[in-house]
Amino acid sequence: MNENMIEIGAELFSKEEALDELIRLQKKSGMIHNPRALKREIAARERKGNTAAGYRIAISDVAHSGSAKTAVSAVTVKDGIDYGAPDRRKVKLIFMIAGKSGSDEHIKVKAQLQKLLSDPAFTAQLCSAPDQKAFLKMIDHKENRHITQPPR
């Protein structure tokens, strides 16, 4: 993930708009070449089961036929959107993982991301990040702290 793959404080009003924006970020960053194909694959993934995890977050993931490597895009949504979350709260933080086709790397990335986001205070910090640099810095700090601290 890099700064070009993150949008902070987006004014989005639906799940479809959010997914379109995440795909746009992937395309803009040069991580995918066929946004329509990714949209079809993500839509198929969403039909299998809602990717909203509760706690105001959603993580959509797919092995994408047009990805040379696994890429992650993220968007924070200013007022949140109805995403069909199990806790019925509006989702404010959405990630999209487009994994390299033929690999299960996107599943590993999703699991690692879910671990990081299991802390509601951390999720709230990400939602209120002032810009992309701060967002990335928070994730880097949390990843490094999570890796270096022994399990309790």
3-state secondary structure 57-90: EEEEEEEECCCCCCEEEEEEEEEEECCCCCCCCC
CATH code of the domain in which 11 resides = 3.40.930.10
- Rounded average pLDDT per 10-residue block, the chain, 152 residues: 95 96 93 91 91 92 83 95 92 93 82 92 95 96 68 46
Structural domain range at position 74 = 3-148
pLDDT at 129: 97
pLDDT at 152: 46
pLDDT at 146: 57
